[in-house]
Amino acid sequence: MEPITTEILVLGAGPGGYAAAFYAADKGKQVTLVEQNPRLGGICLNVGCIPSKALLHATEILRESKESAARGIAFGAAQIDLDRLRAWKIGILDKLGQGIKTLAEHRKVKVIHGRGHFEDSQTLRVETSDGQKFVRYEKAIIAVGSKPALPNAFDLGNPRVMTSTGALEIPDIPENLLVVGGGYIGMELGTVYAALGSKVVVLEALPSILAGVDADLARPVMRAAQKAFKEIRLNTKVLKMATASKQIKVTIEMDKQPRDELYDRVLVSVGRTPNLADLGLENTKVTKDDKGFIHCNAQQQTEDPNIYAIGDVNGGALLAHRATREGKIAVEAIFGEPSAFENIVIPAVVYTDPEVAWCGLTEAEAKQKNIAIKVAKFLWGASGRALTLDRPDGLTKLIIEPESERILGVGVVGAGAGELISEGVLAVEMGATARDIADSVHPHPTLSETFMEAAESFYGTATHTLSRRTAS
C-alpha cells in the first residue's frame, strides 16, 4: 500500500491538536489529522471540560430552584430524567464535534480516524476500521492528551468504581457516592452528584481540598461543600477496595486506624497520566521524564527534531487552553518563526460552587519563594451585584509587587469566577499596575467592579470598604 504523504501530521484532535492543525493549514501547509475517536475534539470535548460543564450548569439550576423560595419564588420538587439529561449533554458534544469537522473540511485538513503508532521519526502507522494506513510526514505534532489515573489497588474491573470518564456518563444516581480525591475534578463531579441527590463523601489525603489554591480562595468552596456533601474528610487515605455484592467495600485509614465502609459507587479522582502507551515512541528519538511525560523545549520540539509535543503529554498544567497555545507555538516553530512558550500566566478555573479562578503568582507561591508582595482584597459581601445574585460568598484578591505596584497575580472565588479571571490574565500579561486597574472605569453594578475595588483598597480608597484612615 502506497503511504499517505503530508507536510504536517497532527496526532490527536483535542483543543491543542485541532488548533495546531487548523493554524498550520491557514498558514499554507498540507495537514493530516489523526484521531482515534469518531468525534473530533479530544478528551476535553468528549469526556472532560465540555460534558462536565454542561452537567454543572444543569445541576446549578437544581440548586437555584431549591434556594429560590427564600427570594419569594417557590418551585415544586425537581423531576430528574437521566435519559434526557444524557441526551442533552450528547447533543452539545455532537454539535461541537460537527463544528470542528466542518472547520477541518473547510481548511482541507485530511482527517484519519484510527490509532496511531510511530514506525520511525517520519512514519506513522494508523490502525483504522479499514485496516492499516501509513502516513509519511515532514513534521509531526503529538497531542494525544491524558487519561484519569487509576491505581492498581482501586482497579477492580467493576464499573461501580469510576474515573471521571465513567462518572460523566451518569449511569445512575447512587444513594451513597465516595469521591477519592478532593482536587479539581473530584470536587466538580462531587458537586454534580450531590445536586442530583447522592450522599457524597469526599476523602482527601492532604490537609486541605484543592491543593495549590490559596487558602482564602479555597475556604468558601469548603464551606459550601460541607453543606452540599454528606462529609469531607481530610488527612484520610484509602488503603484498598473490594467488590461487596452490589456495593464497593472501601478500607480507609483515619486517625491511623483502618476501617471498612460500603458505598454504591466510588469515583477515583487522583490525577491523570499521559496517553503515551503503545505509541511507538521508542522508534523515534523522543524521550520522557521519570513521570512519563515527554521532554520538549520552549518551541515544543522534542529530542527528535521531526516531532513536537503539546498539551497534557508534556506535564505541567493539564489545561486545554495551554494545549491550544502550545499548538500554535509548535506550528510557528515549524515555520521557522521566532516563537516560544513565554506567556507569563496560564489561568486555572475550578468549576465548583462557588467557582475558583486564579492566574500568575499566588500568595502561597510568594511565601514559598520568599517574594515580597502586598495583597489587596475585596470581599463580595460589599458588592451590590453579588448581593442581587444572592452570592455574597466571593472574594477578589490582587497580588502586587510593592515597589512597582505591578499586578503579579489575581485570584477570584465566587459566582462566575471563571469568566472574571480574564481581566486578571490581561492585567498580569500586560504588566498593569494596581493604579491602572483602580483608574479603569468598571460598569456598575457588576462583579467586575470587585477588581477595581480590590485595586482601590491597595491605596486605602475603596468606596465600599473602610479606608485605611477610617479603619485606624
CB 165 within 8 A of CB 47: yes
Which of 413, 436, 325 is CA-nearest to residue 362?
413
- Check 106, 113, 295, 444 and give the catalytic one: 444
Helix (H, G, I), strand (E, B) or coil at 117: strand
Phi-psi map region of 408: left, alpha, beta (phi>0 left; psi -120 to 50 alpha)? alpha
- As given in the structure block, the three cell numbers for residue 301 are 520540539
CA distance 222 to 386: 19
Helix (H, G, I), strand (E, B) or coil at 231: strand
Question: What are the CA-CA distances from residue 322 to residues 15, 152, 223 (Å)?
Answer: 9, 30, 30
Whether 321 is catalytic is no
Which of 202, 192, 189, 279 is CA-nearest to residue 238?
202
- As given in the structure block, the three cell numbers for residue 257 are 486506624
CB 455 within 8 A of CB 434: yes
CA distance 274 to 269: 15
Q: At residue 87, what is the residue type?
A: A
Which of 146, 232, 248 is CA-nearest to residue 183?
232
CA distance 297 to 310: 11
CA distance 123 to 136: 5
Q: Which residue matches cell numbers 455574597?
A: 392
342 Cβ neighbours under 8 A, 6+ residues apart: 298
Give the phi and the psi of residue 91 in degrees, each rounded to 5.
-60, -40
Which of 409, 470, 17 is CA-nearest to residue 217?
409
445 preceded by a cis bond (ω within 30 of 0): yes
CB 309 within 8 A of CB 302: yes
Which of 347, 348, 451, 462 is CA-nearest to residue 398?
451
Sign of the torsion angle spanned by Cα atoms 3, 8, 10, 15: negative
Q: Quickly count: other Cβ atoms within 10 Å of residue 315's Cβ.
A: 17
* Active site residues per annotation: 444
